[in-house]
Amino acid sequence: MPSSDPSYVLVTGGAGFIGSHTVLELINQGYKVVVVDNLSNSCEEPLRRIEKLTGIEKLPFHKVDLADIEDLRAVFRQYNIASVVHFAALKAVGESVHKPLSYYRNNISGTLNLMDVMIEFGVKNIVFSSSATVYQASPNGEPFREDSVLGCTSPYGRTKLYMESIIQDIVNAEKSWNAIMLRYFNPTGAHESGTMGEDPRQIPNNLMPYVAQVAIGKLDKVHVFGNDYNTRDGTGVRDYIHVMDLAEAHVVALKKLTQNCGYQVFNVGSGSGQSVLEMVNAMTEACGHQIPFVIDPRRPGDIDTIVCDPSKAGNELGFKVTRDLKQMCADLWRWQVANPEGYCN
């Protein structure tokens, strides 16, 4: 029989990097959480560490692939779920180019199953983990606003945009739904305890975990792709956000759903950008020694600057980042030193 408490939040993909930090923040702010994850790119260890950090006896977890709608139904039958925070998706841009059907099948079909089951059980509140990859690249580097032109350069980005559209169409069809799309830029950092962080299952696709692994000696050198961009030092500029700021943004968004907000989209970022070399230098300061790097040719499709305009989130959600670049790197280094092999290796 379902629990008598109606306040459960279902977090899909809750064992992943951003998902696990969000689960931690939800529990710290008094929410009851149930996690589903297929563990294809994660393991259960971060959930055990959440239990230690929060003092809860047992975090409800079910190994469920959203492709299996019957397993998903079973979770909804067991818990009185009031809302969903949806992270579960394949997320490597480069991999999506080589395996587009896997991305379409996993990300879109999984979302369709989730929405079907939510409708079946009368759950009409969702926060969706989207991405800045839904935006069309701006050649002049202007900050992206929520109403900026959309257009994706990878199958991964297109799946995120399609997933947004599916949810938006459901909200348009049934006005009692509430949905918030959080489009975030470049998450990095780790929990300040050093016990939770990002654990790439293979060679990291993103800059900062790669830099951290070079800093600790697991990788030889950082590859800087191009130093002739129209930026202050010639390397690409991106908008970075601490993962705990991002986790807090999801909780703020969840609270916004209770105001019958309908369908809303928010950028989540700092609004300022750092170059690749600035990020390498910041990690050099955090770890206390030089981090070797090499300048390689530009990668096809990369552009000078990608930053967001976060003013809508500030004005309408009351959300602003509170952690700076120095803290991102200090927390990331603390995690890397304490967990050189990650969670599960």
Q: Tokens 């800093």, residue?
A: 215
Q: What is the dihedral of CA 219, 221, 223, 227, to 10 degrees?
A: 160
Active site residue 343: no
- Tokens 């923040």: give the residue: 25
Euclidean distance between CA atoms 151 and 136, whole angstroms: 4
| Token digits of residue 208 | 């900062």
- The answer to whether the beta carbons of residues 272 and 307 sit under 8 Å apart is yes
Distance CA 230, CA 304 (A): 6
What is the identity of the amino acid at 18?
I
- Per DSSP, the three-state class of 174 is coil
Distances (CA, A) of 137 to 93, 167, 238, 341: 15, 24, 12, 35
**Are 161 and 152 in contact, with CB atoms under 8 Å apart?**
yes
Contact status, residue 114 vs residue 163, Cβ threshold 8 Å: no
Which one is catalytic: 156, 210, 229, 343?
Answer: 156
What would the two tokens of residue 31 be?
A: 């929410």
- Quick check: 180 and 264 in contact, CB under 8 A? yes
Gap between the terminal Cα atoms of the chain: 37
Residues 249 and 313: beta-carbon distance below 8 Å: yes
How far apart, in whole angstroms, are the C-alpha atoms of residue 150 and residue 122?
A: 31
> 189: which 2 tokens?
């950092």
The residues that are catalytic are 156
